[in-house]
């Protein structure tokens, strides 16, 4: 059985070249081929740096030539292929995920407004691709109020106690294992809890002990991680159970991390289309490290990476 490739989407921008370097490392760690893709979009109108009036000669693609010059000196034993499908990138890229174990993009491409933190193509791939998608941010994102972490490589993953995303945990453990990295698991609980006022004549509910809540969350989180720890005994796990906002804690932990892994969306009701949850979107917009968005297990066949 052949190994599915790591797909790197390029468009000639600095963002996409940084993503290409990240994808090359990911392919090497997985002992997988690297597929470099430039989705060519043509129109006789539009911005000259975004759309090209008519295709270039079939044998020549300046964007792939640029990518090839970057990869050839670093590929070592990695098998690399180059392809240039035509169409709308936001539609074509998610489709390419059906034949990939991982897709890697820059946070923004050549088009759009310079003030955007996340481009439409990266958002579409993270939302719609059936494989995990890694979005590599621009350097220099500032993260405030981060807790000092242990030295060495580190992968971060969020754990939702009420509905844990097994596919996301499996991906994070596998990624930490292949990178010889610590795994920082963040299981956030809301505090203070919602106060329900008693009806007239009813007794006031007893006050909630925050220490007891945190102990219960930690115990439950440890049980959810047990199977993954058995599968990856060499991965050192740092479990934290802070109160407050999940997105804020994950963004803070992204400073100097190798990767932050988040689930795409937890569906509570049938939805006509795939969605990205608010926590995942906030992490994509603000994290200082690359962010891996993992589709639910029902949508993905290769979440183990």
Give the list of residues 6+ apart from residue 161 with CB closer than 8 angstroms, or none.
Answer: 187, 189, 217, 220, 221, 224
Q: What is the pLDDT of residues 150-181, one digit of tens each?
A: 789 999 999 988 888 899 999 999 999 999 99
pLDDT number for residue 71: 92
The mean pLDDT of 227-246, rounded to a whole number, is 94
Q: Is 114 a residue whose pLDDT tops 60?
A: no
H helix count then E strand count, the chain: 8, 10
Q: Is 113 a residue whose pLDDT tops 50?
A: no
pLDDT number for residue 189: 84
Q: How many CB atoms lie within 10 A of CB 132?
A: 27
Give the list of residues 6+ apart from residue 51 with CB closer than 8 angstroms, or none.
Answer: 41, 42, 43, 45
The mean pLDDT of 275-299, rounded to a whole number, is 86
The mean pLDDT of 31-45, rounded to a whole number, is 82
Domains of the chain (ranges; CATH) run 6-136 (3.40.50.620), 154-294 (3.40.50.12370)
pLDDT number for residue 261: 97
pTM score above 0.85: no
Q: Which of 24-28, 56-60, 181-185 has the lowest mean pLDDT?
A: 56-60
Backbone angles phi, psi at 136, to 5 degrees: -95, 120
pLDDT over 90, % of the chain: 56
Q: How many CB atoms lie within 10 A of CB 57?
A: 6
DSSP code of residue 263 = E
Residue 49 pLDDT grade (very low, low, confident, very high; cuts 50, 70, 90): very low
Q: How many CB atoms lie within 10 A of CB 229?
A: 14
As given in the structure block, the two tokens for residue 95 are 């489709």
Looking at the chain, list the stretches that DSSP marks H as alpha helix, in order from N- to C-terminal side.
14-30, 62-72, 89-96, 120-128, 166-178, 210-231, 246-253, 278-286
Alpha-carbon span 20 to 49, nearest angstrom: 20
Alpha-carbon span 68 to 12, nearest angstrom: 11
Q: Is 101 a residue whose pLDDT tops 90?
A: yes
Buried b (16+ CB within 10 A) or exposed e, 251-278: bbbbbebbbbbbbbbeeeeeeeebebbe
Q: Is 299 a residue whose pLDDT tops 80?
A: no
Q: Is 47 a residue whose pLDDT tops 50?
A: no
Give the list of residues 6+ apart from residue 279 with CB closer than 8 angstroms, or none.
Answer: 158, 246, 247, 250, 262
The mean pLDDT of 46-64, rounded to a whole number, is 58
Q: Which residue has the higher pLDDT, 209 or 55?
A: 209
Q: Is 194 a residue whose pLDDT tops 80?
A: no
Mean pLDDT of all residues belonging to the chain: 83
Q: What is the pLDDT of residues 3-29, one digit of tens each?
A: 999 999 999 999 999 999 999 999 999
As given in the structure block, the two tokens for residue 171 are 């991906």
Q: How many CB atoms lie within 10 A of CB 230?
A: 8
């Amino acid at each position: 059985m052949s190994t599915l490739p790591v797909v790197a989407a390029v468009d000639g921008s600095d963002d996409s070249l940084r993503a290409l370097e990240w994808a090359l490392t990911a392919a090497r760690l997985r002992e997988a081929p690297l597929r470099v893709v430039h989705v060519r979009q043509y129109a006789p109108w539009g911005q000259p740096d975004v759309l090209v009036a008519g295709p270039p000669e079939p044998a020549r693609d300046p964007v792939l030539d640029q990518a090839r010059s970057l990869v050839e000196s670093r590929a070592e034993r990695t098998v690399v292929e180059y392809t240039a499908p035509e169409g709308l990138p936001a539609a074509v890229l998610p489709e390419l995920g059906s034949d990939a174990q991982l897709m890697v993009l820059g946070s923004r491409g050549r088009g759009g407004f310079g003030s955007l933190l996340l481009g439409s193509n990266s958002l579409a791939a993270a939302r719609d691709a059936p494989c995990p998608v890694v979005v590599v941010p621009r350097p220099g994102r500032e993260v405030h109020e981060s807790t000092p972490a242990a030295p060495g490589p580190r992968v971060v993953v969020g754990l939702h106690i009420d509905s844990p995303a097994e596919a996301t945990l499996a991906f994070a453990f596998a990624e930490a294992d292949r990178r010889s990295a610590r795994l920082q698991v963040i299981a956030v609980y809301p505090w203070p809890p919602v106060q329900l006022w008693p009806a007239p004549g009813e007794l006031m509910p007893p006050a909630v002990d925050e220490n007891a809540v945190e102990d219960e969350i930690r115990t439950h989180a440890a049980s959810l991680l047990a199977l993954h720890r058995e599968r990856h005994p060499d991965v050192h796990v740092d479990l934290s159970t802070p109160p407050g906002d999940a997105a804020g804690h994950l963004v803070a932990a992204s400073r100097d991390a190798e990767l932050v892994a988040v689930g795409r969306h937890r569906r509570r009701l049938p939805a006509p289309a795939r969605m990205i949850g608010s926590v995942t979107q906030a992490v994509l917009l603000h994290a200082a490290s690359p962010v891996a968005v993992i589709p639910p297990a029902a949508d993905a066949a290769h979440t183990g990476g």
